[in-house]
Amino acid sequence: MHYRRRNVAASLATIILLVLLSAALASARATIRERFKEAPQFYNSPSCPTIISSKEAVHVAMTLDLTYLRGSMAAILSVLQHTSCPQNIFFHFVISSSTPTSNLRATIATSFPYLHFELYPFDDSSVSGLISTSIRSALDCPLNYARSYLANLLPICVTRVVYLDSDVVVVDDIATLYNVDLVQDKVLAAPQYCNANFTAYFTPTFWSNPSLSVTFANRHPCYFNTGVMVIDLNRWRAGDYTRRIEEWMELQKRIRIYELGSLPPFLLVFAGNIVPVDHRWNQHGLGGDNFRGLCRDLHPGPVSLLHWSGKGKPWARLDANRPCPLDALWAPYDLLQTPFALDS
């Protein structure tokens, strides 16, 4: 009897040990395993305005997560490399509140020791209840919705921001995009595509319900990509646009009015009411065809920003030795430290 009890105690201890071990392994998986090189320091040209307050800075917002970190690092480098006032750029990184902050902060600071940046934990649970499953599960990640909450997350003194996805490379001066004229009290500027079939972004249920489709009655709505946007945060706050987006998401939970993730609520609130920006600022779709994984070509015209939107990512294709031709344009911004680079 005594012996048996000791046996039970021993197996209990083993179970506890296993639970602890798997918890430790799970947290180890959540830490950053990639190592990144240090980027060169970039200096302002003599004509750059001196930063006295947040007004003179160029504010850029991005999300940071462990799976797209390599993309984000490349995007940051590309922004700094092509702007004439790199020391005037301020980065606002939104991270999931479940991601360890210190790790990400150290990773950014190691590669960009001179970068002005701040991290903003985003409470996943605040939005997860509003997400209805979409046709592409990658789009259902709560951090994907953080762009709707920038006005709440960023300090009140930040009145304008350029939001960028993590799968972009900027090859022009970001200040040009940032300083777009937001005429007629418009809240948002982005390249828009009036040739895209706007009807296709919403379900027949939406279009056949007059009380819903009336939302587009007095505008000429066009598709725009939410991966590159200039946002007037003061106007956003004043109009409580976060709430307006949430209201559509709440409706989507009850009746299916669209199939994609965070994009359609933006279209519902803003399409037909944005300042159109030159298409050069979002050469999107380079991630390729979502169904067959085919490579995509650039749209005609000049290029200021390359965007690997879609399922395929350049770093994954390069690692797999199956790159698309345009992935060669992403590679020079890759800061990942390869084992070979460590040797040399």
Ligand X SMILES: *[C@@H]1O[C@H](CO)[C@@H](O)[C@H](O)[C@H]1NC(C)=O
Task: Select 219 or 322, whichever has its Cβ closest to ligand X.
Answer: 219
Task: Select 196 or 294, whichever has its Cβ closest to ligand X.
Answer: 196
Q: At closest approach, how far in Å is the CB of 199 from ligand X?
A: 4
Task: Select 163 or 206, whichever has its Cβ closest to ligand X.
Answer: 206
Q: At closest approach, how far in Å is the CB of 207 from ligand X?
A: 8
Number of residues interacting with ligand X: please give it, by CB under 6 A: 3
Task: Select 252 or 304, whichever has its Cβ closest to ligand X.
Answer: 252
Give the three-state DSSP class for 211. Answer: helix
If one asks whether residue 135 binds ligand X (CB under 6 A), the answer comes out as: no
Task: Select 47 or 197, whichever has its Cβ closest to ligand X.
Answer: 197
Show contacts with ligand X in window 87-126 (CB under 6 A).
none
Backbone CA torsion sign across 237, 242, 245, 251: negative
Question: How many Cβ atoms from other residues are within 10 Å of residue 135's Cβ?
Answer: 11
Q: Specify whether the CB–CB gap between 51 and 88 falls below 8 A.
A: yes
Q: At closest approach, how far in Å is the CB of 220 from ligand X?
A: 16
Task: Select 202 or 330, whichever has its Cβ closest to ligand X.
Answer: 202
3-state secondary structure 290-342: CCCCCCCCCCCCCCCEEECCCCCCHHHHHHCCCCCHHHHHCHHHCCECCHHHH
Tokens 């007037």 — which residue? 232
Q: At closest approach, how far in Å is the CB of 205 from ligand X?
A: 12
Distance CA 86, CA 83 (A): 6
Q: At closest approach, how far in Å is the CB of 57 from ligand X?
A: 42
Show contacts with ligand X in window 174-233 (CB under 6 A).
197, 199-200
- Amino acid identity, position 123: D
Q: At closest approach, how far in Å is the CB of 200 from ligand X?
A: 4
Distance CA 35, CA 164 (A): 23
Q: What residue ranges bind ligand X (CB under 6 A)?
A: 197, 199-200
